[in-house]
Structure 1
């Protein structure tokens, strides 16, 4: 079992399989993209499999594959099938923009996937194109509707962006009213790869909730695990539900059970900190499994108490892009 220096059990890993993405969302990276890692610096599928095996042996029972966009990897199926075969893994999920998931839709559940998070910051084509700088809304919606037919838990992550997608909040609420999907509205974070000048948060979790309340005055808070980052709500008669994630306010840090691994093998114990170790060389030297596990335990054993302490400890980290941090 992985237990950090604040006596929190770390059983959830967000495992980035690439830093590449086929979209260019304006709150994540500049239109020209960012300086992506050299391909030989990225962990191979075999290396990701070995790392995952060690993490599961250490007590991790929830893994989410992130990116970049995970489905830009042509060998993603091999990794999913490997992870899906682990009986000790209670949850296997992926965060995707849903543009490339089409060929895998019918096999996802058979591969062991339990849920899919779709990053979708607009429900109208024109808003989608403006934010992503790509004309891909039709294929995303098509794949989303097909996912809803596959008996998987489907969530939509909607980053609330001042001056960009506020008018899409109510239409997104109408979508969850009609379909069994959980929409989570996220505070914007400053990890934009230098694409925008982030000075302050315009829409915090309280403002988002109050905006929703103007149109939907009656909703009921839903029970959630202590480790949940989302405060979830349900409206009577709606097929789905919604939640708000205070990702910049960081109200959930005290119960954090997550560890991030970037596509190049960096261990990130807090999103608002910097990498504390790298596992790539140990894996490539085929070092003893105990040595690899020891490095992970050491990283987890010196975590910041919360995102604010991590920010103070490591200094500015806001020039990074979420695509390189690991989603």
Structure 2
């Protein structure tokens, strides 16, 4: 049974930032709400932390960055975590630039699912948004190979940007339907980006969602994912709408903790003032009971960031 915080939320997910390093410089990146540079956790340290987390009821792990595929030991990390007894799912969020060359080993390591960020299928737009020299076709090749190797589902994350890609949503819907991928349309959030960038590129996805509703034959509300709506389209295709975190519905359904790249438990995406350091405990060779106490402390201390809009 998972541990439950003071607001009745079971904690079953752990989101691990493996690195801050990235080969892109996307205009909307918020670095998972983390700051600073530091020594990263080793695969052995990550495994030990996750083994403790699994004993406390956490059964799903998502690996993020930065760009997690930059780590030369990413396959080892996935393999170690996916073979922990009680682990249901190890997934990964990536920009996809290194996916094609690494996906075979990741599949062998039992990676279950992938989220791939693709802001546009048009090369000029893609390179502008990502500030990289990669083309969308290179990313697509990695996605198709992942699909062939049995990694499923694969989600395509598309952050909607006014005047940049908001006229390309239909193109992305056609692409994801054709390749049996799930499309996530993400509203730009005012976290980790300048006010100038936010005001210039923000698009309210409400009008986009209304159009999608007209094409949907069914709607699934994901209660364990901030009541996120997934639209099943007529003729095939699935689209999820991801809204900003600025309301109580996000907090009320939050079932995850985060682990920073330098080994701190982060109970809330929006806060950096309540982190709990695990790396120091690991390197002092303390036993797992001390790690358990840290997890319990983190969960007991969780409170909704938007708690004024939530009734406990």
> What TM-score, normalized by structure 1, do the two folds share?
0.85
| C-alpha distance after superposition, 1:279-314 (max 9, x if no partner) | 111111121211111111111111122x42499xxx
Residue of structure 1 in register with 2:170 after alignment: 170
Residue of structure 1 in register with 2:15 after alignment: 14
Question: In structure 2, what is the Cα distance between the partners aligned to 1:293 and 1:155?
Answer: 33
Contact preservation (8 Å) 2:27, 2:130: yes
Is 1:220 the counterpart of 2:217? The answer is yes
Post-superposition offset of 1:193: 5.4
Contact preservation (8 Å) 2:222, 2:229: no
Gaps of 5+ in 2: none
User: Which secondary structure does the structure 2 equivalent of 1:282 belong to?
Assistant: helix
User: Which secondary structure does the structure 2 equivalent of 1:92 belong to?
Assistant: strand
Question: In structure 1, what is the Cα distance between the partners aligned to 2:189 and 2:11?
Answer: 23
Residue of structure 2 in register with 1:198 after alignment: 198
Is 1:279 the counterpart of 2:278? The answer is yes
Residue of structure 1 in register with 2:241 after alignment: 244
Question: In structure 2, what is the Cα distance between the partners aligned to 1:100 and 1:151?
Answer: 18
Residue of structure 2 in register with 1:109 after alignment: 107
User: Which secondary structure does the structure 2 equivalent of 1:109 belong to?
Assistant: helix
| C-alpha distance after superposition, 1:111-165 (max 9, x if no partner) | 1211111011112111111100112123112111212222221001111112221
Is 1:132 the counterpart of 2:130? The answer is yes
Is 1:292 the counterpart of 2:291? The answer is yes
- Shift in alpha-carbon separation, 1:272–1:72, aligned structure 2, 3 A: same
Contact preservation (8 Å) 1:187, 1:248: no
Residue of structure 2 in register with 1:84 after alignment: 82
Q: How do 1:257-268 residues align onto structure 2 when only pairs under 5 Å count?
A: 257-268=255-266
> What TM-score, normalized by structure 2, do the two folds share?
0.88
Question: In structure 2, what is the Cα distance between the partners aligned to 1:258 and 1:125?
Answer: 35
Contact preservation (8 Å) 2:13, 2:257: yes
Alignment RMSD: 2.4
Q: How do 1:12-91 residues align onto structure 2 when only pairs under 5 Å count?
A: 12-28=13-29, 37-38=37-38, 41-91=39-89
Post-superposition offset of 1:206: 1.7
Q: Larger relative CO (CA 8 A, sep 6+): 1 or 2?
A: 1
Question: In structure 2, what is the Cα distance between the partners aligned to 1:45 and 1:193?
Answer: 31
- Shift in alpha-carbon separation, 1:201–1:99, aligned structure 2, 3 A: closer
Contact preservation (8 Å) 1:233, 1:242: yes
- Shift in alpha-carbon separation, 1:263–1:70, aligned structure 2, 3 A: same
Post-superposition offset of 1:194: 4.6
- Shift in alpha-carbon separation, 1:208–1:278, aligned structure 2, 3 A: farther
Question: In structure 2, what is the Cα distance between the partners aligned to 1:170 and 1:193?
Answer: 26
